Chains A and B, each alone.
Chain A
Amino acid sequence: MLEIVNLHATVADKPILNGLTLTVPAGEVHAIMGPNGAGKSTLAYVLGGRPGYEVTGGAATFLARDLLAMEPHERAAAGLFLGFQYPVEIPGVSSMQFIRESLNAQRRARGEGELSGAEFIRLARAEAGELGMDADMLKRPVNVGFSGGEKKRAEMVQMGIMRPRLAVLDETDSGLDIDALRIVGAGINRIMRAPDRATLLITHYQRLLDVVQPDRVHVLAGGRIVRSGGPELAHELEREGYAEVA
Chain B
Amino acid sequence: MSLLAHPTRKDEAYRYADLDALKRVWSDLAAAREIVVPAGQRDSHVLLANAQAVEVHRARIVIEAGASLDLFALNGATEYGRVEVDVTVREGGHFALHAANIGGGKATQEIVTIVRHEEPNGTSRQTVRSVLAGKATGSYLGKVAVSRHAQKVDGEQSVKAMLLNRGATANCKPELEIYADDVKCAHGASVGELDPDQLFYALSRGLDPASAKALLLEGFVLQLWDEAPEDRREELVEASRALLRQVTA
* Chain A interface (Cβ < 8 Å from any Cβ of B): 48-51, 71-73, 75-77, 82, 84, 87-93, 97-99, 101-103, 105-106, 109, 141, 158, 162
Contact = CB atoms under 8 A, between A and B. Distances in A.
A91 B158 CA distance: 15
A92 B203 contact: no
A102 B207 contact: yes
B206 A109 contact: yes
Given A71-B209, A73-B209, A106-B206, 5 more contacts: A76-B204, A76-B205, A77-B206, A92-B218, A102-B205
A98 B215 contact: yes
5 contacts: A50-B200, A50-B204, A71-B203, A82-B204, A162-B206
Contacts of B207: 73, 101-102, 105
A103 B224 CA distance: 26
Given A88-B198, A90-B198, A105 B208 contact: yes
Classify the interface of chain A: helix, strand, loop or mixed: helix
A101 B201 contact: no
B41 interface: no
| Chain B: number of interface residues, binned into ranges | 20 to 34
B206 A76 contact: yes
B244 to A, nearest CB: 12
Interface of B: 196-198, 200-209, 211-212, 215-216, 218-224, 226
B201 A90 contact: yes
A146 B220 CA distance: 19
A109 B211 CA distance: 13
Contact of A88 (B197, B208, B211, B224): B197
Contacts of A73: 203-204, 206-209, 212
A77 B223 CA distance: 28
A123 B205 CA distance: 17
Nearest to A76: B206
Residue among B204, B212, B219, B226 having the largest count of chain A Cβ atoms under 10 Å = B204
A90 B206 CA distance: 16
Given A73-B206, A73-B212, A51 B196 contact: yes
A92 B221 contact: yes
A124 to B, nearest CB: 14
A165 B219 CA distance: 30
B220 A92 contact: yes
Q: Which residue among B196, B197, B205 has the maximum number of chain A CB atoms within 10 Å of its CB?
A: B205
Contacts of B220: 92
Contacts of A51: 196, 200
Contacts of A101: 207, 211, 215
Name the 6 nearest CB pairs between A and B, nearest first: A92-B219, A92-B223, A76-B206, A102-B205, A106-B206, A93-B219
